[in-house]
Amino acid sequence: MTIDMPIVSECLASECAYNVDMNCHAKAITVGNSLHAGCDTFFSGSGHTRATTRTAGIGACKSTNCAFNEDLECMTDSIRVAPAGQAVNCMTYSPR
């Protein structure tokens, strides 16, 4: 089965355990909630993933007020993720 989903084209959260060379290597991430378009998959870790051959997709988006959200899924081609204050956010987020 092939699942077509948008990708995380760049992640600037270098302290995330899924980040290697500014790319996210989780299988898929979940983006935020209706109040905050944060990367819910982010977690700080001393070790980083060894699965560097895959590029993360966006499995779900809970930011229902984002222009790219359709039926709780992201409908853009790719997103960028970066630190924003104390959080790590989807920088592609655009309010409706």
State the pLDDT at residue 35: 78
List Cα–Cα distances, 35 to 8, 27, 64, 66, 77, in angstroms.
Answer: 21, 24, 9, 10, 22
State the pLDDT at residue 2: 66
Query: Which neighbouring-strand residues pair with 82?
Result: 89
State the pLDDT at residue 17: 94
Q: What phi-psi label fits residue 52: left (phi over 0), alpha (psi between -120 and 50 degrees) or beta?
A: alpha
With 0.85 as the threshold, say if the pTM is over it. Answer: yes
Contact 79, 58 (CB under 8 A): yes
User: 31-35, 62-66, 77-81 — which is least confidently predicted?
Assistant: 31-35
With a cut of 70, say whether residue 84 has pLDDT above it.
yes
pLDDT band at 1 (very low <50, low <70, confident <90, very high): low
Q: What tokens appear for 86 in the block?
A: 């104390």
Q: Taking the CA atoms of 50, 42, 11 and 28 in sequence, report the sign of the dihedral they define.
A: positive
